[in-house]
Structure formats: C-alpha cells, structure tokens
Amino acid sequence: MGVRSAFASVAYYLPGRPVTTEDINRRVCETTGYELTNGLIQRLTGVRTRHFRAPDEQSSDLAVSAAKQAMDRAGVSPDEVDLLIFAACTHDITEPATANIIQEKLGCRRSQVLDIKNACNSFLNGLDVADSHIRVGKSRCALVTVGETLSLSIDWRIRSTEDLKSRIASLTLGDAGAAAILKPVPEEDERGIMTTRFRSYGDKWRLATVLGGGSMYHFDQEYGYFRSESRELRDAAFDLIPSVVTEALDSIGWKASDIDVACGHQVTEEIVEGLRERCGIRTGHEIVTITDCGNTAAASIPLGLGRAYEEGKLSPGTKILLVGGAAGFSVGVLPVVW
C-alpha cells in the first residue's frame, strides 16, 4: 500500500513592528536626499507595511520561531523529526547549510538536514523533496522551514528615476519565517499533496538577481543587493504560470473552480489579482499577504497558508492550490487537500 504526504501543521512568524511605506520613503531620503513621490510604492505594488528583523535576528531564528509553532500544533517532538529542510533565498552563512543551525536550535538530533535554494520557490521545492522522501518510506516526519531576512538585500542608495526602476521592487521586501510539518497518509486517503509540477526557464535568470556571494562577484559588496526588472517579471508570470496550473489540475481531475484556497508567491497586488483571473480561481479564494507583509520571498506561500489556517479556512477536505513564480524563472504548482 502506497503513501503520500499530508500537512500535519503550518505556522509563520513576523518579526518586529510593521514598517510602513512612509518609513521606507523617509529612509531613502535620509540616505541620498532623493524624495519618492508620496504614495508611489503603495500605488504601484499595493504594499502598505512589511516587517524587518531585529539586528540580532538571523534567518535561522525566524525559521525556528515558526518551526516551534508548527511542531506544537502538530504535537511533534524534536526527536520525531527525521528530515529537516531549510528552504529560503537568504541564509545565516555560506557554509555549512543553515539547516544545521536550525537543527541545533530546535534539538532535532535524529534529523537528516539540508538546505534547498530556488529563489521564491524554495519552499515549494522543499515540500516536493519532503513529499518524495515520505512516498518512498525514507521519512516519517518532515519539517520544512523558511527564514527570510530580505531587508538586508535593500539598496537604499536611490538617486534617480533610473535607480528607482531597478530597485523599487526591493523596497517592498519584508522579513518572515514559516514552517510546515508533513507526515505520511495512505494513498487512498483523500488528504495530502496530490501532485507537483515544476517548470524552469533559465534564459530569464537575469530578470531578478542578487549577484554577490558566488564565484562571479564573490565578496563584492556592490553586488549584494536585490535588482529586478519588474515589468518583465510580471509578463513572465502572466505568460508562464497559468499553463502549468492547468496542467497540474488536469492531471488530478480538478477544475480551477474547485479550489477553495489559493496561496501564491506575492510580488505585487496587481500580479496576485492578474494570476487569479488568468488561472480561473474564484474571487475571494486567494489569500493576500503582500499588502501588510510585503514580498517575503519563499515565506510568502506558507505565510498565506498559515493565515488561512488561523482564519479557519482550512478544514478536512479543503482543496488548496500552492503556486509560485520565482526568479530564474521557475514555476511551481502543488494541489493539496487539507
């Protein structure tokens, strides 16, 4: 008898106090003297507030705060976790994997640990790997964690309209942690991850980057900040994501109108609404976090799922669509039954 993986819990963590768009405008002006048009960021992106980490909070700390909530909700002890994945854009250090630091902080001594990194789709890839481990019997309890300290990637040195074009997306970034516990259920059970679909379009990797830290620019601080061609990324999302959603749903006999809750990676409010329409999701069934949390990268999907849980929107049998478009450019789609 085969098994699939099902969510035992999900949780998120938002650090510090909300940082308003007015706070962002003020810091840009204090840094360079450049004054952003009042209300510009919110008008273009929908972002009103976001959260920034405390100076002593690391990516692992945000992940651990969410993981403790997820473990408590699932009634899972540290020794029960046999697979621990850290899946995020940011990390504590280059070597070793941040998952080792999380293991120490959580006390998950029996866990196999590893990092998975695929920009804003890292969490979805983490779920995919955990699901595969569970399906083949290599894991009985997987913990997938995210900790995004994206505020460190903001370049506040905006001096012109040209600077603003490539950096405005960074002004929407927010910090967050998230975590989910997966456990096996029998295949005939109606719960779980029903299928996964991933597509990548590597020729578009230049559209959103943090170039520093690797062999190309190594420790050159000038390249340690987020840059984005926002319009081109939006077009890629609209062109490439809907067909993968359709493919995933068709493979399990679902229609878009069957989806009860949709949680997607969120860059702007316009893209959230545009993808909802293009994918055929019913109005009001999408979970929106971009407006009060900003772009939280790989944390955005589990953040939305955690919000849905806390709002009582997840009950046995709820049909969920997890969908992400990430720098690279990559698309990930997971239909799930709660």
Rounded to the nearest 10 degrees, how much is the dihedral formed by the CA atoms of 280, 284, 289, 291? 100
Catalytic site residue 91?
Answer: no
Instruction: For the chain, report the end-to-end CA distance as a whole number of angstroms.
Output: 21
- Give me the sheet containing 83-87, strands edge to edge: 3-13, 176-186, 142-148, 83-87, 112-116
Query: Is the bond preceding 123 in cis, omega lying within 30 degrees of 0?
Result: no
Q: Which of 91, 265, 279, 293 is catalytic?
A: 265
Assign 219 a pLDDT band (cuts: 50, 70, 90): confident
- Tens of pLDDT, residue by residue over 153-164, are 999 999 999 989
Q: What's the pLDDT at 142?
A: 98
Q: For residue 128, which of 81, 59, 202, 194 has the smallest C-alpha distance?
A: 194
- The token pair at 106 is 């959580």
The residue count of the chain comes to: 338
| Residue type for position 286 | E
Catalytic site residue 118?
Answer: no
- Tens of pLDDT, residue by residue over 233-282, are 999 999 999 999 999 999 999 999 999 999 999 999 999 999 999 999 99
Average pLDDT, the chain: 96
The full set of domain ranges for the chain reads: 3-186, 192-337
Query: Domain 192-337 belongs to what topology?
Result: Peroxisomal Thiolase; Chain A, domain 1 (3.40.47)
**Above 80 in pLDDT, residue 107?**
yes
Q: What's the pLDDT at 218?
A: 87
- Report the predicted TM-score, pTM, of the whole model to 2 decimal places: 0.96
**Above 80 in pLDDT, residue 122?**
yes
- The rounded percent of the chain whose pLDDT value lies above 90 is 93
Q: For residue 278, which of 328, 234, 326 has the smallest C-alpha distance?
A: 234
- Rg of the chain on CA atoms, in Å: 19
Catalytic site residue 265?
Answer: yes
CATH 3.40.47.10 fits 3-186, yes or no: yes
User: Facing residues of 18 across strands?
Assistant: 51
Q: What's the pLDDT at 11?
A: 98
- Tens of pLDDT, residue by residue over 6-36, are 999 999 999 998 999 999 999 999 999 999 9
Q: Which of 89, 108, 120, 141 is catalytic?
A: 120
Please name the residue ranges forming H helices in 33-187. Answer: 40-45, 59-74, 98-106, 122-135, 161-167
